[in-house]
Chains A and B, each alone.
Chain A
Amino acid sequence: MSDITQSAPVAAPRSVRGQQWLQHVSLLIIVLVLAVFAWLSPIFLTVMNLGNVLQQTAVVGTLALGLTLVLSGGGLQGITGGIDLSIAANLGLSAAVFASQLNAGQPIAIALLLTLLTGAAVGLFNALAIVWLGILPLLATLTSMNIAIGLEMVLTSNASVSASSDLQNLLLGNGPLAVSWLGWSFLLLAFGVIALSRLTSFGLRLQAVGSHPQAANAAGIGVKRYQGLSYVLCGVSAAIAAIASVSLLSGSSPGANDNLLMVIAAALLGVVFSRRLVPTLGGALISALFLSLIANGFQLINVSSYWINGVEGVLILLVVALTALLRRRQSRRTQGV
């Protein structure tokens, strides 16, 4: 005869606001930590120091923005989710290209162009491997990281390449508020990217692609196109970060890959600042700045900088455990039965 013909009403508590506490607590913690540093070191909150911190964040911050695009479009499903492990190696390679071009006397425009092309090329390689061939992002970018490191070593014979140019001098020069132009450029870039992402449909669609690819597909959004684009843009961000890096270091040096963990930390920690509990550009920016501030603070109060990695690790674990918990609670409410 018949199946069950009616349904019981599904009650769902509506504590939408419930998860705002995470953002508020995180901001509170940041303020507290900064306050402690400020109390322990009078220099901490000076404009000069903060400007310095801003400048120091340019490299990792730019990379974190690029990585966030990949995380956003790839979805955070652990091993199968989107990630770009090659981003720091890409930075190294692009920086090597930039520095050696300048060193060889090339005009700045050519050097910039080639640098950007290098970063984009690595990004494109990732995009093709992941989106077209279907290799897992983790594996594909692990491989491209290897290759990029190798190419960088080939280019520089594993040595530093010094370079100087008018552009670098300009960037390192002081702008308003005694903050360097590099710092301002970074801030401008960050806000520009955040604004573009939010004001156009790009950020929205990219997030949809990462959050629910079938839904995005059904909405007529080219999932592969967006995911591929995110990897290319990530590559370009590495090139831009390379320009900043070469400016800061007056050249390129091996070991750019050491930045990788910090970039991943910044991008992942950004989740905490979004009420959607997903990686966001704004969140990545705040996290990158926060991590820089901690490093700076440690320096000022003479705590060994080697605690940084440990702090990052603990923070990541905290954030990840918390967001996993919150997400589980979110979805349990909507499962019915």
Chain B
Amino acid sequence: MSDSLLSPVAPRPRQTGWLRAIIVLTFVALLVFFIVAAPAFATVSNIRSVLLNNVAPLAIVALAMTLVTRIGAIDLSVGTAIDIACLVLVTLVLHQVSLPVALFAALIAALLVGVFNAFLVTQLGVEPFLATLGTLFIGQSVQQLSSNGGQPVYLLSQKLPDGFSAIGHGALLGIPLPLWLLLLVALALYQLLHRSATGRSLRVMGEQYSVAQHSGVPVKRLTALAFILAALIAGIVGLILAANVKAWVPLSGNAYLLNAIGASFIGATFAPSRRPNVLGTLLGVVLLSFIANGLLLVGWNFYWQQVATGGLIFIVLAVGALRARRHS
């Protein structure tokens, strides 16, 4: 039995079932309910707002997470990558560094988080869960130290370099930049995971790691690639955050972690292969975001939303697990 760096993730059954139909129907019913009960829900401005403010950043992080979960691992430190990128960008801009250089440096910083994870997992043989947990810890500490315990770092509006706010609010052809970034990332990842030769190897790694290894797939190299790329992609969200909030709020990236994981696994239940995938993740993010939005507009207590979102993810997971059980 070979040593595995990674272990298999969710169970995977084969056929479609009427259980899946039930989920779809439930979602449709919810959507209808929202449209009827909250007149503001189905308006262009609302949809645009949700897409820009909720879907875009979450989706990018979730896609980064999908890359890692697809090979059967997990990355608990994506929030750290987001925050580090944000921190570096804000700090450099504050010190009057030119914008392109600052952006580049921020992305490199995020990339380094990924490199650290890759090192732990592929060179030291630490399990991804524990390795990224350790990175999360260390990242938290670094941020706390850099911010004197959680003090945000603000940028002054007058002193912003040209084009800075464009990252968050600028638009091309009427579509906001963050959505373009999302599109770019989604397309690139789709190409990588679902169309390229490397994607095949990644898929087998997630499916049955030892088979990939015994077939000559460069497993260590690809694992490192996944972690590094995931951190880089997460870093993009850090840039968007910085531009939108015009500040660095420490530890804010972690808020995305849970929903990113949730969306990635919800997305997995949508695919016939039951493995994490790009389209499913996007769908999962859209669902989570719009349901939260719907609940808000319908007037649900804001705090109940968290319960509702959690409950929703749970139902999807439960159904997925039940389907898996029926086929084993």
Indicate whether B42 reaches chain A with its CB closer than 8 angstroms: no
Contact call B7/A77, Cβ cutoff below 8 A: yes
Contact call A143/B314, Cβ cutoff below 8 A: yes
Kindly identify, within residues 302 to 337 of chain A, every residue whose CB is under 8 Å from any CB belonging to chain B: 304, 306-314, 316-317, 320-321, 324-325, 328
Contacts of A26 in B (CB 8 A): none
Indicate whether B135 reaches chain A with its CB closer than 8 angstroms: yes
Of the candidates B8, B124, B318, the one whose C-beta lies within 8 Å of that of A129 is B318
Q: Given A147-B311, A310-B141, A316–B133 Cβ distance below 8 Å?
A: yes
Q: Which of B6, B130, B261, B311 has the most CB of A within 10 A?
A: B130
- Comparing A13-21, A148-156, A177-185, the segment that makes contact with chain B is A148-156
Count A-B pairs with CB separation below 8 Å.
155
Contact call A321/B140, Cβ cutoff below 8 A: no
Interface size on A, residues (CB 8 A): 46
Contacts of B73 in A (CB 8 A): 79
Contacts of A311 in B (CB 8 A): 141
Q: Given A310-B141, A321-B124, A324-B126, A79–B74 Cβ distance below 8 Å?
A: yes
One digit per residue, 1 when the CB lies within 8 angstroms of any chain A CB and 0 when it does not, for chain B 287-328 equals 000000000000001011111111101100110111011000
State the majority secondary structure of interface residues on B: helix
- The smallest C-beta distance from B115 to any residue of chain A, in angstroms, reads 15
Contacts of B325 in A (CB 8 A): 134
Q: Within the assembled complex, what's the spacing in Å between the Cα atoms of A311 and B144?
A: 13
Chain A residue, CB-CB nearest to B313: A143
- Comparing A1-9, A113-121, A261-269, the segment that makes contact with chain B is A261-269
Contacts of B128 in A (CB 8 A): 78-79
Q: Given A138-B129, A313-B141, A143–B262 Cβ distance below 8 Å?
A: yes
Contacts of A299 in B (CB 8 A): none
Indicate whether A41 reaches chain B with its CB closer than 8 angstroms: no
Of the candidates B130, B138, B307, the one whose C-beta lies within 8 Å of that of A151 is B307
Q: Within the assembled complex, what's the spacing in Å between the Cα atoms of A136 and B320?
A: 11
Contacts of A133 in B (CB 8 A): 317-318, 321-322
Q: Which of A80, A135, A153, A154 has the most CB of B within 10 A?
A: A135
Indicate whether A146 reaches chain B with its CB closer than 8 angstroms: yes
Chain A residue, CB-CB nearest to B141: A310
Contacts of B9 in A (CB 8 A): 79-80, 136
Size bracket of the B interface: 35 or more
Of the candidates A78, A134, A314, A316, the one whose C-beta lies within 8 Å of that of B11 is A134
Indicate whether A277 reaches chain B with its CB closer than 8 angstroms: no
Contact call A139/B135, Cβ cutoff below 8 A: no
Contact call B309/A146, Cβ cutoff below 8 A: yes
Q: Within the assembled complex, what's the spacing in Å between the Cα atoms of A127 and B156?
A: 50
Q: Within the assembled complex, what's the spacing in Å between the Cα atoms of A145 and B311?
A: 11
Chain A residue, CB-CB nearest to B257: A142
Contact call B127/A147, Cβ cutoff below 8 A: no
Contact call B126/A261, Cβ cutoff below 8 A: no
Indicate whether A157 reaches chain B with its CB closer than 8 angstroms: yes
Contact call B137/A154, Cβ cutoff below 8 A: no
Q: Within the assembled complex, what's the spacing in Å between the Cα atoms of A161 and B141?
A: 29
Q: Given A306-B149, A314-B134, A143–B310 Cβ distance below 8 Å?
A: yes
Contacts of B307 in A (CB 8 A): 146-147, 150-151, 154
- The smallest C-beta distance from B123 to any residue of chain A, in angstroms, reads 10
Contact call A135/B318, Cβ cutoff below 8 A: yes
- The smallest C-beta distance from B97 to any residue of chain A, in angstroms, reads 26
Q: Within the assembled complex, what's the spacing in Å between the Cα atoms of A80 and B10?
A: 8
Of the candidates A136, A264, A306, the one whose C-beta lies within 8 Å of that of B144 is A306
Q: Given A135-B318, A150-B307, A306–B129 Cβ distance below 8 Å?
A: no
- The smallest C-beta distance from B7 to any residue of chain A, in angstroms, reads 5
Q: Within the assembled complex, what's the spacing in Å between the Cα atoms of A247 and B124?
A: 43
- The smallest C-beta distance from A273 to any residue of chain B, in angstroms, reads 17
Q: Within the assembled complex, what's the spacing in Å between the Cα atoms of A154 and B302?
A: 8
Indicate whether A158 reaches chain B with its CB closer than 8 angstroms: yes
Q: Within the assembled complex, what's the spacing in Å between the Cα atoms of A170 and B130?
A: 40
- Can you show 8 pairs from A to B with CB atoms below 8 A apart? A78-B6, A80-B9, A133-B317, A143-B313, A150-B307, A311-B141, A313-B135, A321-B125
6 closest residue pairs by CB, A with B: A313-B137, A310-B141, A150-B306, A146-B310, A306-B144, A150-B307
- Write the residues of chain A forming the contact surface with B, with a CB cutoff of 8 angstroms: 77-80, 129, 133-136, 138-140, 142-147, 149-151, 153-154, 157-158, 261, 264-265, 268, 304, 306-314, 316-317, 320-321, 324-325, 328
